Chains A and B, each alone.
Chain A
Amino acid sequence: MSINAPESQFGFSFDQKRCTGCRTCVIACKDYHDLGPGIMFRTVHEYAAGAWRLNEEGAWEQDVTAFYVSLSCSHCANPVCLRICTAGAVLKDARGFVTIDHEACTGCQLCAVACPYHAPRFDEASGRVEKCDGCSARIAQGRAPVCVEACPQHALGFGLYDDLSAGPRVVERIAAMPDPVITQPNYAIEPSEAVRGVGLDEELMNPREV
């Protein structure tokens, strides 16, 4: 299936050094969209790395580092969820939002499995897949996505991805995140200095939560 380029492309941005992993974005999204038990569109990934060694004087040497990534749908330029959906239930609109057509969704969850960011989430109550729609209707009313408005640390942003990605330090992948080549995500991350490299020894601390 070929994907027509949208007229404009929405994206989120993330200033990682500001993020304290508080999860306000997670709860604000859940509250606003009234997501049921077990479903979160936005999740916060906690990464940590570092080794401990007892030295000759009986004290601990360590080089620990830690950081967070707040992650939701990146409304990708090449969304694998859309490509894989046999029901044609995943749509990409003129403003670049990737959304689900609930009438068409069969609940097969192929998209949920295929997305390297695990953005589509299966809702047991409806038997369908749900995902972040970028609060597109809210944006149309002149407001920000609820997660962006909620962040007490002002770490999340949104806008036209061309603008967001123009920053000198912006990357689309840090630590153990998937290779952006797969889906071309529209997520502009300004990495924290606590990130020491890509895919080194950082370990995801909270796999159950994300």
Chain B
Amino acid sequence: MTRHAGAPGDWPATTPARQTCSVNCGSRCVLSLQVADGRIQWAEGDGAVEEGDQMRPCLRGRALRYWLDSPERLNAPLRRVGPRGLGRFEPISWDEALDEVAERIRGVVARWGNEAVLVPYATARWTASGSPFERLMNCYGGHLGIYGDYSCAQLQAAHEALYGDDGYYSGSTLDEVANADLLVVFGANPSLTRMGGASGAWRLEQMREARAALGLPLKVVSVDPCHTDLMSRAVDEWLPVRPGTDAAFVAGVAHVLITEGLVDEAFVHACCIGYDAETMPAGVPESEGYRAYVMGDGPDGVEKTPAWAARITGCPSARIVSFARELAGARRAFVTQGWGPQRTEHGEQSARAVCLLAMLTGNLGLPGTNSGTRERLRRPAIPDESVGDNPVGVSIPAFTWSRAVEQGEALTAESAGVRGAERLRAPVKLIINHGGNALTNQHADINRTHRILADEGLCEFILGVDVAMTDSARYADILLPDLAQSEQAALVASGNSDGVCAVIDCESWDHPAFERRGAWDVARELARRLGVEEAFCAEGSTACEVDERRWEQGELAGEAGAHEELGARGVLRRADACSQVAFADFRADPARNPLPTPSGLIEIYSTRVAALARERAQAGISAPLSPIPAYLPAREGAEAACERGMLQLVSYHGRQSANSSFANVREIEEAVPRRLSINPIDAQRYGVASEDQVVLENERGALVCRVRVTPRVMPGVVSLPQGAWHDADMAGDKLDWGGCANTLTSDIPTAWSCGNAHNSCLVRLRLLRDDERARRAKLQASRDDAAPGKGEGR
């Protein structure tokens, strides 16, 4: 008999604990965990207020107990035995572990300097944000910094060039869609990336229904290799384009706008540089402007007609023409993009090109419009935990850390985007990886990265601090078991994608602790051993004291009664009062409200990129850089796929996991299994059917996955939800049975922003062979399931 099937009196008595998920999904949803006997029995959602305001958790939040109880949880401190990266450990005591870690930090800093210590990109400790280990290192002389991220490094650089800021906070808020009659979306599926109940998917739906009720239906156009869940109305239109070809699509649209006189020239002439003769920066000929590029008057002499764009993108020219007219004819169009298109080899070009559509049609700075970037993210209602200032002023792009391990001093400002120094003074010799799976799983080219990390002559020591035995955790020399954020008391702000301003007072509960310890206390113990405990505790000597400081610095602290309300209700929520139209002041008066670009205007021709290209050329570095948002074919792009007879792989955010968090939960996999989407035309060509096990491979590696044949992905493209846990015999054939997309992706940083180009990835596909199945079965049988630290949680 199922639980709750009988009379309520027979149900298990539980104690509720208010909590939230703590992963990098952009939302913080409210959970009421029903706890008994030291376990979550089940979870209730956010039932406290009227339906419309609820922060309803998605399937992952509802599966929290399966995650926290998973056999992959770490329960005791571990020390590596055997070669690094093979995941063999022995349990040790906390004192032994902490003494050894402190000694290694002291030793590396003494020999190589603080610049040899890296706290890499890690986002699974997102809730209370700032890493206590970053704070620890900042108190102990600093560490090599990172800038940018794995989410949208290319878009940040592109936006910086166009508008002078990184784009996270300058876009229009999503509520402006209510004032638009056309929503143009490049590579975004809010039903996958804004799933939380207060986030984008539900807010967009509410706006569509509100407009429909007024007789003003909103049309959505999706430019995307995949058919998304946004396509829910008869009026909606899907324009499939091959991955990485967005800039070609835009050039084709621009050709129609120009030849049919549909460009809003008054706007472009007043607000932009680099479009035509009237707007070129001093000393730059008209032939290098965007209009000349489109009309065939530029250096390449190619006219970017819709037929030209159709050949590259795969989108019919008739559709390009009708879309261009529709965009120009819209009263207000909200042009936006997700972070998938820019996560390509020339993603900076794609990102800028999408923004161009807003400019050319004057859909910028007015109600119902956007700048072409993603909708504005919300800053948290209470600030992140402070990590202090980093005395080491040198930083590298977040994605290039493995090169800093491998090549050290060879990384320069020109070649690798090093900031704060001409070149690195030391290679990375010590890594503190807290709550991150980006050493391998979420990084790229896992097999190459494995070789770098496994070489103990390169990085000398890796400290792992995590809740679970992730693939990255397997590379630790000392591995410390963290408490999950959802097991600890903390003040948590609503997420950056949530359309609400909220603070959640998360409660600790009677959870099984084994030997797990909260990261803040662990970092403090290390600070004590390194003689910097006083500095470490300057903002509070416990995590709760730190939270008090965060509350005082938050935007609701000054509101009378707010603190009392938080205490009484546990969740303090206010309507998001930060509605914004991107660059409205600038458009109203560009002279009085200049942008922080060199010209003060929108730089369609970027003088900064032109300068960067010259610097690179002088340094003898060949890099394809274009000052305008021209289409640049990629090494692993649509043309190369065609020439080499390969498929383009798109690795997207699936429902199953937030990056790799929750990807080990069997109950989620059962409800919505990971499948490789392949078009029926390709399925026929490769002789595969739904549920077949196939191998995807390229020169970097091979993975195993199951197929779903579906018309929802365009021919020539296969799509795989990213985040699956890498599972390969790294001492053997390295075939990844976990189906982790980054077994196949390249770790070569993009030429401009040194970002990750995960969606420029060519693959071959074949059916799994029987000998591979047999080898796996043999390995499974011989695997030592009793490895310490695994399986003790149940």
Contact = CB atoms under 8 A, between A and B. Distances in A.
Q: Please determine whether chains A and B interact with each other in the same assembly.
A: yes
B316 interface: yes
Given A17-B232, A48-B712, A57-B307, A27 B63 contact: yes
Contact of B43 (A31, A135, A152): A31
Interface stretch (B72-80, B196-204, B441-449): B196-204
Given A40-B671, A194-B234, A150 B56 contact: yes
Contacts of A32: 3-4, 42
A133 B5 contact: yes
Given A57-B317, A141-B8, A153 B59 contact: no
Interface stretch (A3-11, A58-66, A76-84, A173-181): A58-66
A134 to B, nearest CB: 11
A28 B4 CA distance: 13
Interface string B22-62: 00000000000000000001111101000100001111001
Q: For the side of the interface on A, what is the size category?
A: 35 or more
Interface stretch (A18-26, A109-117, A159-167): A18-26
A137 B191 CA distance: 32
A205 interface: yes
A59 B316 contact: yes
A112 to B, nearest CB: 15
Contacts of B672: 23, 26, 44, 209
Interface in A97-139: 99, 102, 126, 130, 133, 135, 137-138
A197 B192 CA distance: 27
Interface stretch (B361-369, B431-439, B467-475, B662-670): B662-670
A34 interface: yes
A12 interface: no
Tell me the dominant secondary structure on chain B's binding face: loop
Most buried by B among A23, A50, A54: A23
Contacts of A20: 191, 195, 201, 229
A151 interface: yes
A34 B42 contact: yes
Nearest to A141: B8
Interface residues of B, number: 66
Nearest to A126: B1
Interface in A32-69: 32-35, 37-38, 40, 43-44, 48-52, 54-55, 57-62, 64-67
Given A55-B316, A137-B8, A34 B2 contact: yes
Interface stretch (B105-113, B285-293, B673-681, B730-738): B673-681
A36 to B, nearest CB: 9
Contacts of A65: 231
A208 interface: yes
Most buried by A among B7, B63, B673: B63
B667 A30 contact: yes
B227 interface: yes
B681 A66 contact: no
A62 B711 CA distance: 9
B62 A27 contact: yes
Interface in A136-152: 137-138, 140-141, 143, 149-152
A50 B715 CA distance: 13
A58 B712 contact: no
Contacts of B43: 28, 31
Contacts of A141: 8
28 contacts: A17-B232, A18-B205, A20-B195, A20-B201, A22-B201, A24-B56, A24-B57, A27-B667, A28-B62, A30-B671, A33-B4, A54-B715, A57-B307, A57-B311, A57-B317, A60-B315, A67-B232, A102-B1, A137-B4, A140-B8, A141-B8, A151-B56, A152-B201, A153-B202, A205-B708, A205-B710, A209-B670, A209-B672
Interface of A: 17-18, 20-24, 26-28, 30-35, 37-38, 40, 43-44, 48-52, 54-55, 57-62, 64-67, 99, 102, 126, 130, 133, 135, 137-138, 140-141, 143, 149-154, 192-194, 205-206, 208-209
